[in-house]
Chains A and B, each alone.
Chain A
Amino acid sequence: MAATRTLPKLDADNRAFWTGGAEGQLRLMRCQDCKTFIHPPRPVCRKCLSENVKPEAVAGTGVVYSYTINYQKWSPTMEVPFVIARVAIDGAPGVLLTTNIVDCPVDSVDIGDKVRVKFLQQDDVFIPLFEKIN
Protein backbone atom coordinates (compact mmCIF):
# COMPACT_ATOMS: atom_id res chain seq x y z
CA MET A 1 0.00 0.00 0.00
CA ALA A 2 1.23 3.47 -0.76
CA ALA A 3 2.61 5.36 2.19
CA THR A 4 0.15 8.17 1.68
CA ARG A 5 -3.34 7.83 0.32
CA THR A 6 -5.39 10.30 -1.65
CA LEU A 7 -7.82 11.83 0.83
CA PRO A 8 -11.40 13.05 0.46
CA LYS A 9 -12.36 16.69 0.68
CA LEU A 10 -14.52 16.91 3.81
CA ASP A 11 -17.94 18.54 3.63
CA ALA A 12 -21.24 18.59 5.52
CA ASP A 13 -22.45 15.39 3.87
CA ASN A 14 -19.37 13.20 4.25
CA ARG A 15 -17.66 14.46 7.43
CA ALA A 16 -19.37 11.97 9.78
CA PHE A 17 -18.29 9.06 7.57
CA TRP A 18 -14.66 10.10 7.23
CA THR A 19 -14.09 11.22 10.84
CA GLY A 20 -16.16 8.68 12.79
CA GLY A 21 -13.02 6.63 13.24
CA ALA A 22 -11.76 9.23 15.76
CA GLU A 23 -14.30 7.67 18.15
CA GLY A 24 -13.81 4.21 16.69
CA GLN A 25 -17.20 4.38 14.95
CA LEU A 26 -18.23 3.54 11.41
CA ARG A 27 -21.00 6.05 10.73
CA LEU A 28 -23.49 5.80 7.89
CA MET A 29 -26.21 8.24 6.93
CA ARG A 30 -29.68 6.91 7.72
CA CYS A 31 -33.20 8.10 7.03
CA GLN A 32 -34.92 8.63 10.38
CA ASP A 33 -38.37 8.15 8.81
CA CYS A 34 -38.08 4.99 6.71
CA LYS A 35 -34.80 3.75 8.25
CA THR A 36 -33.06 3.28 4.91
CA PHE A 37 -29.27 3.68 4.97
CA ILE A 38 -28.07 6.26 2.46
CA HIS A 39 -24.66 5.69 0.96
CA PRO A 40 -22.98 7.74 -0.37
CA PRO A 41 -24.27 10.08 2.36
CA ARG A 42 -26.60 12.79 1.11
CA PRO A 43 -29.08 15.12 2.82
CA VAL A 44 -32.08 13.29 1.36
CA CYS A 45 -33.34 9.71 1.50
CA ARG A 46 -33.23 7.99 -1.88
CA LYS A 47 -36.17 5.77 -0.89
CA CYS A 48 -38.71 8.25 0.55
CA LEU A 49 -37.17 11.70 -0.20
CA SER A 50 -37.27 12.62 3.49
CA GLU A 51 -34.73 15.21 4.58
CA ASN A 52 -34.86 13.83 8.12
CA VAL A 53 -31.54 12.04 7.86
CA LYS A 54 -28.56 11.73 10.17
CA PRO A 55 -25.40 9.66 10.61
CA GLU A 56 -25.66 6.58 12.82
CA ALA A 57 -22.93 4.28 14.08
CA VAL A 58 -23.13 0.69 12.84
CA ALA A 59 -21.39 -2.35 14.30
CA GLY A 60 -18.39 -2.05 11.99
CA THR A 61 -18.46 -5.63 10.81
CA GLY A 62 -19.41 -6.97 7.42
CA VAL A 63 -18.97 -9.60 4.76
CA VAL A 64 -16.78 -9.52 1.64
CA TYR A 65 -19.27 -9.09 -1.22
CA SER A 66 -16.61 -9.15 -3.96
CA TYR A 67 -12.91 -8.42 -4.26
CA THR A 68 -9.91 -8.18 -6.53
CA ILE A 69 -6.19 -8.49 -5.97
CA ASN A 70 -4.60 -5.40 -7.49
CA TYR A 71 -1.13 -6.07 -8.97
CA GLN A 72 -0.65 -2.92 -11.02
CA LYS A 73 1.40 -0.06 -9.56
CA TRP A 74 -0.76 2.96 -10.34
CA SER A 75 1.89 5.28 -8.93
CA PRO A 76 5.64 4.89 -8.38
CA THR A 77 5.28 4.68 -4.59
CA MET A 78 2.41 2.19 -4.53
CA GLU A 79 3.20 -1.16 -2.90
CA VAL A 80 1.54 -4.14 -4.58
CA PRO A 81 -0.20 -6.52 -4.49
CA PHE A 82 -3.10 -5.54 -2.25
CA VAL A 83 -6.76 -6.44 -1.93
CA ILE A 84 -9.58 -4.12 -2.95
CA ALA A 85 -13.01 -5.32 -1.86
CA ARG A 86 -16.61 -4.30 -1.61
CA VAL A 87 -17.84 -5.08 1.90
CA ALA A 88 -21.54 -5.52 2.69
CA ILE A 89 -21.98 -3.79 6.02
CA ASP A 90 -23.76 -5.69 8.79
CA GLY A 91 -26.97 -3.98 9.88
CA ALA A 92 -27.01 -1.66 6.86
CA PRO A 93 -28.79 -3.52 4.06
CA GLY A 94 -27.74 -2.44 0.58
CA VAL A 95 -24.61 -0.55 1.65
CA LEU A 96 -21.40 -1.77 0.00
CA LEU A 97 -18.16 -0.04 0.98
CA THR A 98 -15.19 -0.16 -1.36
CA THR A 99 -12.19 -0.73 0.91
CA ASN A 100 -8.99 -2.71 1.40
CA ILE A 101 -8.77 -6.00 3.28
CA VAL A 102 -5.53 -5.68 5.27
CA ASP A 103 -3.28 -7.65 7.62
CA CYS A 104 -3.64 -10.96 5.80
CA PRO A 105 -2.07 -12.67 2.79
CA VAL A 106 -3.70 -11.29 -0.38
CA ASP A 107 -4.65 -14.78 -1.56
CA SER A 108 -6.48 -15.59 1.69
CA VAL A 109 -9.47 -13.32 0.95
CA ASP A 110 -12.68 -14.76 -0.48
CA ILE A 111 -16.26 -13.72 -1.06
CA GLY A 112 -18.26 -14.35 2.12
CA ASP A 113 -15.37 -13.71 4.52
CA LYS A 114 -16.37 -11.94 7.72
CA VAL A 115 -14.46 -8.73 8.30
CA ARG A 116 -14.18 -5.93 10.85
CA VAL A 117 -13.38 -2.23 10.36
CA LYS A 118 -9.93 -0.96 11.26
CA PHE A 119 -9.36 2.75 10.85
CA LEU A 120 -6.24 4.24 9.34
CA GLN A 121 -5.73 7.87 10.29
CA GLN A 122 -4.10 10.20 7.81
CA ASP A 123 -4.28 13.91 8.63
CA ASP A 124 -7.88 14.61 9.68
CA VAL A 125 -9.35 11.58 7.88
CA PHE A 126 -9.99 8.12 9.33
CA ILE A 127 -10.03 5.68 6.42
CA PRO A 128 -12.17 2.58 7.11
CA LEU A 129 -10.09 -0.45 6.15
CA PHE A 130 -11.19 -3.97 7.06
CA GLU A 131 -9.43 -7.03 8.51
CA LYS A 132 -10.59 -10.60 8.52
CA ILE A 133 -12.28 -12.02 11.64
CA ASN A 134 -10.88 -15.44 12.41
Chain B
Amino acid sequence: MSANEAYISGVGQSEIGTRLTRSPLLLTLDAVREALDEAGLTIGQIDGVSTYPGRIPAYLGFSPVGADELIDALGIRATWYAGGGEISSQLGAVVAAAAAVRAGQARHVICFRTVYEAAALARPDEYPRPQRDRVDGSSQWFAPFNAISAVTWTAQYAMLHVKRYGLKREQLAQIALTARAHSALNPRALVREPLTMDEYMSARMISSPLCLYDCDRFTDASTVVIVSAGDALDEVKCTPIRIAAMAGTVERHSWDQADELACYPTGADLWKRTDYKPADVDTAQLYDGFSFQALAWIEALGFCELGEGGRFIEGGKRIALDGELPLNTFGGQIGAGRLHGFGFAHEAVVQLRGKGGARQIPGDPRVAVSTSGGGPLATALLLARD
Protein backbone atom coordinates (compact mmCIF):
# COMPACT_ATOMS: atom_id res chain seq x y z
CA MET B 1 0.00 0.00 0.00
CA SER B 2 1.26 3.42 -0.87
CA ALA B 3 0.71 6.17 1.68
CA ASN B 4 0.28 8.95 -0.85
CA GLU B 5 -2.27 7.21 -3.06
CA ALA B 6 -6.07 7.12 -2.90
CA TYR B 7 -8.06 3.94 -2.48
CA ILE B 8 -11.68 2.88 -2.51
CA SER B 9 -12.53 1.11 0.74
CA GLY B 10 -16.20 0.39 1.40
CA VAL B 11 -18.95 0.57 -1.21
CA GLY B 12 -22.67 0.48 -0.54
CA GLN B 13 -26.02 0.77 -2.19
CA SER B 14 -29.61 1.14 -1.11
CA GLU B 15 -32.40 -0.86 -2.68
CA ILE B 16 -33.02 0.19 -6.28
CA GLY B 17 -36.66 0.86 -6.98
CA THR B 18 -39.32 3.05 -8.44
CA ARG B 19 -41.88 5.10 -6.53
CA LEU B 20 -40.18 4.31 -3.25
CA THR B 21 -41.62 5.91 -0.15
CA ARG B 22 -38.46 5.66 1.95
CA SER B 23 -37.03 9.16 1.93
CA PRO B 24 -33.97 10.03 -0.16
CA LEU B 25 -31.97 10.84 2.97
CA LEU B 26 -32.75 7.43 4.45
CA LEU B 27 -31.88 5.69 1.16
CA THR B 28 -28.56 7.50 1.37
CA LEU B 29 -28.18 6.29 4.95
CA ASP B 30 -28.81 2.69 3.77
CA ALA B 31 -25.97 2.99 1.27
CA VAL B 32 -23.69 4.66 3.84
CA ARG B 33 -24.34 1.90 6.39
CA GLU B 34 -23.51 -0.84 3.89
CA ALA B 35 -20.30 0.92 2.84
CA LEU B 36 -19.21 1.49 6.45
CA ASP B 37 -19.92 -2.16 7.32
CA GLU B 38 -17.83 -3.41 4.42
CA ALA B 39 -14.94 -1.11 5.31
CA GLY B 40 -15.18 -1.79 9.04
CA LEU B 41 -15.39 1.95 9.65
CA THR B 42 -17.68 3.92 11.94
CA ILE B 43 -19.33 7.18 10.99
CA GLY B 44 -16.99 8.86 13.48
CA GLN B 45 -14.03 7.93 11.29
CA ILE B 46 -15.55 9.67 8.26
CA ASP B 47 -14.08 13.16 7.87
CA GLY B 48 -15.04 14.03 4.31
CA VAL B 49 -18.07 14.08 2.01
CA SER B 50 -18.19 14.50 -1.78
CA THR B 51 -21.19 14.42 -4.08
CA TYR B 52 -22.56 15.32 -7.49
CA PRO B 53 -24.41 17.55 -8.27
CA GLY B 54 -25.34 18.71 -4.76
CA ARG B 55 -28.90 19.30 -3.59
CA ILE B 56 -30.96 20.97 -6.33
CA PRO B 57 -33.95 22.62 -4.62
CA ALA B 58 -35.71 23.38 -7.93
CA TYR B 59 -35.46 19.76 -9.10
CA LEU B 60 -35.32 17.53 -6.06
CA GLY B 61 -36.13 14.36 -8.00
CA PHE B 62 -32.83 14.74 -9.84
CA SER B 63 -30.81 15.47 -6.74
CA PRO B 64 -32.63 15.43 -3.40
CA VAL B 65 -29.67 15.15 -1.00
CA GLY B 66 -26.51 17.26 -0.86
CA ALA B 67 -23.28 17.23 1.11
CA ASP B 68 -24.49 19.90 3.53
CA GLU B 69 -27.51 17.90 4.62
CA LEU B 70 -25.70 14.58 4.86
CA ILE B 71 -22.94 16.05 7.03
CA ASP B 72 -25.42 17.49 9.47
CA ALA B 73 -27.90 14.60 9.41
CA LEU B 74 -25.24 11.96 10.14
CA GLY B 75 -23.23 14.06 12.58
CA ILE B 76 -20.08 14.04 10.50
CA ARG B 77 -17.15 16.22 11.52
CA ALA B 78 -15.88 17.09 8.04
CA THR B 79 -12.36 18.43 7.48
CA TRP B 80 -13.06 18.55 3.73
CA TYR B 81 -16.24 18.38 1.65
CA ALA B 82 -17.57 19.35 -1.75
CA GLY B 83 -20.75 19.01 -3.78
CA GLY B 84 -21.59 20.51 -7.12
CA GLY B 85 -22.53 19.95 -10.71
CA GLU B 86 -19.78 21.88 -12.46
CA ILE B 87 -17.28 19.03 -12.48
CA SER B 88 -16.39 16.43 -15.09
CA SER B 89 -19.61 14.44 -14.55
CA GLN B 90 -20.88 12.27 -11.70
CA LEU B 91 -17.66 10.41 -10.87
CA GLY B 92 -15.87 13.75 -10.78
CA ALA B 93 -16.97 13.67 -7.13
CA VAL B 94 -14.71 10.63 -6.63
CA VAL B 95 -11.86 12.38 -8.45
CA ALA B 96 -12.21 15.35 -6.09
CA ALA B 97 -12.24 13.08 -3.04
CA ALA B 98 -9.15 11.20 -4.26
CA ALA B 99 -7.31 14.48 -4.75
CA ALA B 100 -8.39 15.58 -1.28
CA VAL B 101 -7.14 12.48 0.54
CA ARG B 102 -3.85 12.59 -1.39
CA ALA B 103 -3.46 16.20 -0.28
CA GLY B 104 -4.04 15.24 3.36
CA GLN B 105 -7.34 17.11 3.63
CA ALA B 106 -9.29 14.06 4.79
CA ARG B 107 -8.77 10.35 5.57
CA HIS B 108 -12.09 8.70 4.71
CA VAL B 109 -14.51 10.46 2.34
CA ILE B 110 -18.09 9.35 1.69
CA CYS B 111 -18.79 9.92 -2.01
CA PHE B 112 -22.46 9.54 -2.90
CA ARG B 113 -25.12 10.01 -5.54
CA THR B 114 -28.78 9.79 -4.58
CA VAL B 115 -31.53 9.82 -7.20
CA TYR B 116 -35.30 10.02 -6.70
CA GLU B 117 -36.55 10.57 -10.23
CA ALA B 118 -39.15 7.80 -10.28
CA ALA B 119 -40.69 8.83 -6.96
CA ALA B 120 -40.71 12.43 -8.13
CA LEU B 121 -42.65 11.51 -11.25
CA ALA B 122 -45.21 9.70 -9.11
CA ARG B 123 -45.46 12.47 -6.51
CA PRO B 124 -45.11 15.76 -8.44
CA ASP B 125 -46.73 17.79 -5.69
CA GLU B 126 -43.97 16.79 -3.32
CA TYR B 127 -41.18 16.78 -5.93
CA PRO B 128 -42.12 19.21 -8.74
CA ARG B 129 -40.18 19.43 -11.97
CA PRO B 130 -38.70 22.86 -12.65
CA GLN B 131 -41.16 25.27 -14.25
CA ARG B 132 -39.53 27.79 -16.52
CA ASP B 133 -41.12 30.69 -18.31
CA ARG B 134 -38.04 31.43 -20.40
CA VAL B 135 -34.69 29.66 -20.50
CA ASP B 136 -31.13 30.95 -20.37
CA GLY B 137 -27.65 29.48 -20.29
CA SER B 138 -27.09 26.41 -22.44
CA SER B 139 -30.81 25.46 -22.37
CA GLN B 140 -31.65 28.34 -24.71
CA TRP B 141 -29.82 26.60 -27.58
CA PHE B 142 -31.98 23.46 -27.31
CA ALA B 143 -35.37 24.15 -25.70
CA PRO B 144 -36.74 26.44 -28.48
CA PHE B 145 -36.27 23.52 -30.89
CA ASN B 146 -37.98 20.99 -28.59
CA ALA B 147 -34.59 19.30 -28.20
CA ILE B 148 -35.34 18.93 -24.53
CA SER B 149 -33.89 15.56 -23.60
CA ALA B 150 -30.24 14.50 -23.70
CA VAL B 151 -31.40 11.56 -25.81
CA THR B 152 -31.97 13.93 -28.74
CA TRP B 153 -28.44 15.31 -28.36
CA THR B 154 -26.83 11.89 -27.91
CA ALA B 155 -28.81 10.44 -30.83
CA GLN B 156 -27.13 12.91 -33.18
CA TYR B 157 -23.68 11.66 -32.16
CA ALA B 158 -24.94 8.11 -32.68
CA MET B 159 -26.26 9.10 -36.12
CA LEU B 160 -22.79 10.36 -37.06
CA HIS B 161 -21.47 6.88 -36.22
CA VAL B 162 -24.19 5.31 -38.37
CA LYS B 163 -23.28 7.47 -41.35
CA ARG B 164 -19.51 7.74 -40.92
CA TYR B 165 -18.67 4.23 -39.74
CA GLY B 166 -21.68 2.10 -40.65
CA LEU B 167 -22.87 1.43 -37.09
CA LYS B 168 -25.91 -0.86 -37.26
CA ARG B 169 -28.81 -1.12 -34.82
CA GLU B 170 -28.15 -4.86 -34.53
CA GLN B 171 -24.66 -3.99 -33.25
CA LEU B 172 -25.71 -1.22 -30.87
CA ALA B 173 -28.37 -3.60 -29.52
CA GLN B 174 -25.63 -5.60 -27.80
CA ILE B 175 -25.16 -2.85 -25.21
CA ALA B 176 -28.79 -3.23 -24.11
CA LEU B 177 -28.96 -7.01 -24.52
CA THR B 178 -25.77 -7.45 -22.50
CA ALA B 179 -27.00 -5.04 -19.83
CA ARG B 180 -30.25 -6.96 -19.47
CA ALA B 181 -28.51 -10.35 -19.47
CA HIS B 182 -26.39 -9.11 -16.59
CA SER B 183 -29.11 -7.31 -14.65
CA ALA B 184 -31.05 -10.59 -14.63
CA LEU B 185 -28.24 -11.90 -12.41
CA ASN B 186 -28.19 -8.89 -10.08
CA PRO B 187 -30.70 -9.28 -7.22
CA ARG B 188 -30.87 -5.50 -6.73
CA ALA B 189 -31.36 -4.58 -10.40
CA LEU B 190 -34.48 -2.71 -11.42
CA VAL B 191 -35.14 -4.90 -14.49
CA ARG B 192 -34.58 -8.65 -14.05
CA GLU B 193 -35.89 -9.97 -17.37
CA PRO B 194 -33.52 -10.53 -20.29
CA LEU B 195 -34.14 -8.67 -23.56
CA THR B 196 -34.23 -10.41 -26.95
CA MET B 197 -32.93 -9.07 -30.24
CA ASP B 198 -36.45 -9.26 -31.67
CA GLU B 199 -37.82 -7.13 -28.83
CA TYR B 200 -35.02 -4.63 -29.36
CA MET B 201 -35.42 -4.42 -33.12
CA SER B 202 -39.19 -3.92 -32.88
CA ALA B 203 -39.08 -1.40 -30.03
CA ARG B 204 -40.49 2.04 -30.59
CA MET B 205 -38.06 4.76 -31.54
CA ILE B 206 -37.42 7.54 -29.04
CA SER B 207 -34.96 9.62 -31.06
CA SER B 208 -33.47 7.84 -34.08
CA PRO B 209 -31.35 5.77 -34.12
CA LEU B 210 -32.02 5.27 -30.38
CA CYS B 211 -35.06 3.21 -29.32
CA LEU B 212 -36.73 2.66 -25.97
CA TYR B 213 -34.21 0.01 -24.89
CA ASP B 214 -31.25 2.27 -25.62
CA CYS B 215 -32.34 4.46 -22.70
CA ASP B 216 -31.91 4.00 -18.96
CA ARG B 217 -34.88 4.21 -16.58
CA PHE B 218 -35.76 6.62 -13.81
CA THR B 219 -34.90 5.08 -10.47
CA ASP B 220 -34.93 5.79 -6.75
CA ALA B 221 -31.66 4.73 -5.12
CA SER B 222 -28.45 5.82 -3.47
CA THR B 223 -24.92 4.62 -4.12
CA VAL B 224 -21.89 5.24 -1.91
CA VAL B 225 -18.16 4.83 -2.54
CA ILE B 226 -15.78 5.57 0.34
CA VAL B 227 -12.42 7.00 -0.74
CA SER B 228 -9.69 6.42 1.82
CA ALA B 229 -6.15 7.75 2.12
CA GLY B 230 -3.27 5.34 1.64
CA ASP B 231 -1.99 6.07 5.14
CA ALA B 232 -5.42 5.36 6.68
CA LEU B 233 -5.79 1.81 5.33
CA ASP B 234 -4.78 0.22 8.64
CA GLU B 235 -8.26 1.25 9.81
CA VAL B 236 -9.97 -0.55 6.90
CA LYS B 237 -10.87 -4.24 7.00
CA CYS B 238 -11.85 -4.82 3.32
CA THR B 239 -9.41 -5.27 0.42
CA PRO B 240 -8.52 -1.75 -0.69
CA ILE B 241 -8.88 -0.93 -4.37
CA ARG B 242 -6.32 1.57 -5.63
CA ILE B 243 -7.39 4.45 -7.86
CA ALA B 244 -4.57 3.90 -10.36
CA ALA B 245 -5.46 6.76 -12.69
CA MET B 246 -8.25 9.24 -13.27
CA ALA B 247 -9.18 11.67 -16.03
CA GLY B 248 -11.90 14.14 -16.90
CA THR B 249 -11.05 16.21 -19.97
CA VAL B 250 -13.29 18.54 -21.94
CA GLU B 251 -12.20 20.38 -25.08
CA ARG B 252 -15.47 22.12 -25.93
CA HIS B 253 -17.96 22.44 -23.10
CA SER B 254 -21.08 22.17 -25.22
CA TRP B 255 -23.51 19.45 -26.27
CA ASP B 256 -23.71 20.73 -29.86
CA GLN B 257 -20.55 22.66 -30.75
CA ALA B 258 -18.19 19.71 -30.18
CA ASP B 259 -17.28 17.32 -32.98
CA GLU B 260 -16.95 14.39 -30.58
CA LEU B 261 -18.03 13.41 -27.10
CA ALA B 262 -15.67 14.35 -24.26
CA CYS B 263 -15.07 10.68 -23.50
CA TYR B 264 -12.54 10.55 -26.36
CA PRO B 265 -9.98 13.04 -24.97
CA THR B 266 -10.71 11.74 -21.47
CA GLY B 267 -9.95 8.16 -22.47
CA ALA B 268 -6.74 9.21 -24.18
CA ASP B 269 -5.62 11.21 -21.14
CA LEU B 270 -6.35 8.33 -18.75
CA TRP B 271 -3.69 6.13 -20.35
CA LYS B 272 -1.11 8.94 -20.21
CA ARG B 273 -1.34 8.75 -16.41
CA THR B 274 -0.60 5.07 -15.87
CA ASP B 275 1.64 2.23 -17.03
CA TYR B 276 -1.40 -0.01 -17.45
CA LYS B 277 -2.67 -0.60 -20.99
CA PRO B 278 -6.20 -1.27 -22.26
CA ALA B 279 -5.25 -4.96 -22.59
CA ASP B 280 -4.71 -5.11 -18.81
CA VAL B 281 -8.37 -4.29 -18.08
CA ASP B 282 -10.37 -7.26 -16.77
CA THR B 283 -13.78 -5.57 -16.79
CA ALA B 284 -15.25 -2.30 -18.03
CA GLN B 285 -18.13 -0.51 -16.31
CA LEU B 286 -19.04 2.20 -18.82
CA TYR B 287 -21.72 4.86 -18.60
CA ASP B 288 -24.85 3.84 -20.47
CA GLY B 289 -27.45 6.46 -19.74
CA PHE B 290 -27.92 5.87 -23.44
CA SER B 291 -26.42 2.75 -25.04
CA PHE B 292 -24.38 4.71 -27.55
CA GLN B 293 -22.42 6.38 -24.75
CA ALA B 294 -21.08 2.99 -23.63
CA LEU B 295 -20.10 2.16 -27.20
CA ALA B 296 -18.29 5.50 -27.49
CA TRP B 297 -16.47 4.81 -24.20
CA ILE B 298 -15.27 1.44 -25.57
CA GLU B 299 -13.65 3.28 -28.47
CA ALA B 300 -12.48 6.19 -26.33
CA LEU B 301 -10.66 3.90 -23.91
CA GLY B 302 -8.79 2.23 -26.75
CA PHE B 303 -10.43 -1.20 -26.60
CA CYS B 304 -10.91 -0.71 -30.35
CA GLU B 305 -10.32 2.01 -32.90
CA LEU B 306 -12.59 5.02 -33.39
CA GLY B 307 -15.55 3.88 -35.48
CA GLU B 308 -14.96 0.16 -34.80
CA GLY B 309 -17.19 -0.04 -31.71
CA GLY B 310 -20.14 -1.55 -33.54
CA ARG B 311 -18.08 -4.36 -35.00
CA PHE B 312 -16.27 -4.85 -31.67
CA ILE B 313 -19.48 -5.63 -29.77
CA GLU B 314 -21.28 -7.40 -32.62
CA GLY B 315 -22.77 -10.72 -31.45
CA GLY B 316 -22.13 -9.74 -27.82
CA LYS B 317 -19.64 -12.50 -26.92
CA ARG B 318 -16.76 -10.12 -26.30
CA ILE B 319 -18.65 -8.11 -23.67
CA ALA B 320 -20.42 -11.02 -21.94
CA LEU B 321 -19.46 -12.14 -18.41
CA ASP B 322 -17.03 -14.72 -19.84
CA GLY B 323 -15.87 -12.51 -22.71
CA GLU B 324 -12.58 -10.69 -23.14
CA LEU B 325 -14.09 -7.42 -21.87
CA PRO B 326 -17.05 -8.09 -19.55
CA LEU B 327 -19.18 -4.95 -19.74
CA ASN B 328 -21.57 -3.44 -17.19
CA THR B 329 -21.77 -6.64 -15.19
CA PHE B 330 -24.41 -5.25 -12.79
CA GLY B 331 -26.70 -4.42 -15.69
CA GLY B 332 -25.57 -0.86 -16.29
CA GLN B 333 -28.14 1.88 -15.97
CA ILE B 334 -30.16 0.29 -18.78
CA GLY B 335 -30.71 -2.86 -16.70
CA ALA B 336 -30.03 -1.97 -13.07
CA GLY B 337 -31.58 1.50 -13.13
CA ARG B 338 -30.42 5.07 -13.53
CA LEU B 339 -28.02 5.26 -10.58
CA HIS B 340 -26.41 8.14 -12.46
CA GLY B 341 -22.74 7.34 -12.75
CA PHE B 342 -21.94 5.92 -9.32
CA GLY B 343 -23.15 2.40 -10.16
CA PHE B 344 -20.15 1.93 -12.45
CA ALA B 345 -17.56 2.62 -9.75
CA HIS B 346 -19.53 0.52 -7.24
CA GLU B 347 -19.59 -2.48 -9.59
CA ALA B 348 -15.92 -2.21 -10.54
CA VAL B 349 -15.06 -2.59 -6.85
CA VAL B 350 -17.51 -5.47 -6.36
CA GLN B 351 -15.92 -7.37 -9.26
CA LEU B 352 -12.33 -6.67 -8.20
CA ARG B 353 -13.18 -8.07 -4.75
CA GLY B 354 -14.79 -11.18 -6.26
CA LYS B 355 -18.13 -10.40 -4.63
CA GLY B 356 -20.32 -10.43 -7.74
CA GLY B 357 -22.15 -13.65 -6.86
CA ALA B 358 -24.03 -15.02 -9.88
CA ARG B 359 -22.65 -12.19 -12.02
CA GLN B 360 -19.00 -12.50 -10.87
CA ILE B 361 -16.63 -12.59 -13.83
CA PRO B 362 -14.30 -15.61 -13.97
CA GLY B 363 -10.58 -15.58 -13.26
CA ASP B 364 -8.89 -13.26 -10.83
CA PRO B 365 -9.78 -9.74 -11.97
CA ARG B 366 -7.26 -7.14 -10.86
CA VAL B 367 -7.90 -4.10 -13.08
CA ALA B 368 -11.18 -2.41 -13.92
CA VAL B 369 -12.18 0.81 -15.61
CA SER B 370 -15.32 2.72 -14.71
CA THR B 371 -16.67 5.85 -16.32
CA SER B 372 -19.46 8.36 -16.16
CA GLY B 373 -20.84 11.05 -18.38
CA GLY B 374 -21.96 11.85 -21.89
CA GLY B 375 -21.67 14.84 -24.22
CA PRO B 376 -19.18 17.34 -22.77
CA LEU B 377 -19.14 15.47 -19.46
CA ALA B 378 -16.69 12.60 -18.98
CA THR B 379 -14.83 10.98 -16.10
CA ALA B 380 -12.76 7.81 -16.20
CA LEU B 381 -11.36 5.91 -13.20
CA LEU B 382 -8.85 3.10 -13.51
CA LEU B 383 -9.07 0.84 -10.46
CA ALA B 384 -6.60 -1.84 -9.41
CA ARG B 385 -6.38 -4.53 -6.73
CA ASP B 386 -2.66 -4.69 -6.00
Are A and B physically bound partners?
A: yes
Contact residues of A with B, CB < 8 Å?
1-2, 5-9, 11, 14, 39-40, 66-72, 74, 78, 82, 84-86, 94-100, 110-111, 125, 127, 129
Q: What residue of chain B has the Cβ atom nearest to residue A122's Cβ?
A: B144
> Interface extent on B, as a size class?
20 to 34
Complex Cα spacing A11 to B137, Å: 11
Complex Cα spacing A80 to B326, Å: 38
Q: Check B207–A72 contact: CB distance below 8 A.
A: yes
Q: What residue of chain B has the Cβ atom nearest to residue A73's Cβ?
A: B146
State which of B65-73, B150-158, B264-272, B315-323 sits at the interface with chain A.
Answer: B150-158
Q: Check B206–A71 contact: CB distance below 8 A.
A: yes
Contact partners of A9 in chain B: CB under 8 A: 134-136, 140
Q: What residue of chain A has the Cβ atom nearest to residue B156's Cβ?
A: A66
Q: Check A98–B142 contact: CB distance below 8 A.
A: yes
Q: Check B208–A69 contact: CB distance below 8 A.
A: yes
**B147 interface residue (CB < 8 Å to A):** yes
Complex Cα spacing A8 to B12, Å: 42
**Seed contacts A6-B144, A68-B209, A71-B208; 11 additional CB < 8 Å A-B pairs:** A6-B132, A6-B134, A8-B134, A68-B152, A68-B210, A71-B207, A72-B151, A85-B156, A86-B156, A98-B153, A100-B145
Nearest CB of B to A66, in Å: 4
Contact residues of B with A, CB < 8 Å?
132, 134-136, 138, 140-149, 151-153, 155-157, 159-160, 163, 204-210, 254, 256-257
Nearest CB of A to B293, in Å: 15
Q: A7-B135, A66-B157 are in contact. Are A125 and B152 (CB under 8 A)?
A: no
Q: Check B256–A86 contact: CB distance below 8 A.
A: yes
Contact partners of B149 in chain A: CB under 8 A: 72, 74
Complex Cα spacing A44 to B164, Å: 34
Q: Check B256–A67 contact: CB distance below 8 A.
A: no
Q: A8-B135, A8-B140, A9-B140 are in contact. Are A66 and B159 (CB under 8 A)?
A: yes
Q: What residue of chain A has the Cβ atom nearest to residue B157's Cβ?
A: A66
Q: Check B140–A14 contact: CB distance below 8 A.
A: yes
Contact partners of B256 in chain A: CB under 8 A: 86, 96-98
Nearest CB of B to A7, in Å: 5
Complex Cα spacing A69 to B144, Å: 16
Q: Check B144–A127 contact: CB distance below 8 A.
A: yes
Complex Cα spacing A14 to B140, Å: 10
Q: What residue of chain B has the Cβ atom nearest to residue A94's Cβ?
A: B257
Complex Cα spacing A127 to B206, Å: 24
Q: Check B148–A74 contact: CB distance below 8 A.
A: yes
Selected contact of A84 from candidates B132, B145, B204, B254, CB within 8 Å: B145
Q: Check B134–A69 contact: CB distance below 8 A.
A: no
Selected contact of B144 from candidates A7, A66, A74, A78, CB within 8 Å: A7
Selected contact of A98 from candidates B147, B163, B208, CB within 8 Å: B147
Contact partners of A94 in chain B: CB under 8 A: 257
Contact partners of A95 in chain B: CB under 8 A: 257
Contact partners of A84 in chain B: CB under 8 A: 145-147, 152, 156, 207
| Complex A-B: 15 CB contacts under 8 Å | A5-B146, A7-B134, A8-B143, A9-B135, A9-B136, A14-B140, A40-B141, A40-B257, A68-B155, A78-B146, A84-B145, A97-B256, A98-B256, A111-B159, A127-B145
Contact partners of A127 in chain B: CB under 8 A: 144-145
Q: What residue of chain B has the Cβ atom nearest to residue A79's Cβ?
A: B146
Nearest CB of A to B144, in Å: 5
Contact partners of A129 in chain B: CB under 8 A: 145
Contact partners of A125 in chain B: CB under 8 A: 144
Complex Cα spacing A29 to B206, Å: 34
Contact partners of B142 in chain A: CB under 8 A: 98
Complex Cα spacing A72 to B155, Å: 13
Complex Cα spacing A58 to B132, Å: 31
Interface centre among A67, A68, A99 (most CB of B within 10 A): A68
Interface centre among B142, B144, B148, B153 (most CB of A within 10 A): B144
Q: Check B257–A39 contact: CB distance below 8 A.
A: yes
Nearest CB of A to B197, in Å: 21
Nearest CB of B to A40, in Å: 6
